[in-house]
Amino acid sequence: MDPKEYNLLKAFRDLLADSVSQLQNAAGQSQLASTASELAGRWDDADEEFANVLRDISRQARTMSFAQVRPVVQAITGHIQAQLSEVEARLNS
């Protein structure tokens, strides 16, 4: 892997890891809505479709109960963690 590709992949890994951490640490509806909205802006360049999913979560967190939104967030963080494992494996190979 050339240095440019490595740096891009590392930046993507950092975005994945930070996203998982922030979403898992959101302690309530307001914090989850703010976190998802902030992350969406960071995801725009990496994956616009996923950025829109995060915007939807932000809207849902403002209108639905935390108990309703939290399982969706857990499923998404599980998906991100799987991607993170794949990216880390590529970085370490």
Please tell me the predicted confidence (pLDDT) of residue 1. 82
H helix intervals, the chain: 3-25, 29-43, 48-63, 66-92
CB atoms within 10 A of CB 29: 19
Q: Which two tokens stand for residue 74?
A: 């857990």
Angstrom distance (rounded) from CA 45 to CA 29:
26
- What parts of the chain have a pLDDT lower than 50? none
| Cβ within 8 Å of residue 16, ≥6 positions away | 80, 83, 84, 87
Closest Cα to residue 1, out of 17, 13, 15? 13
Q: pTM for the full model? A: 0.90
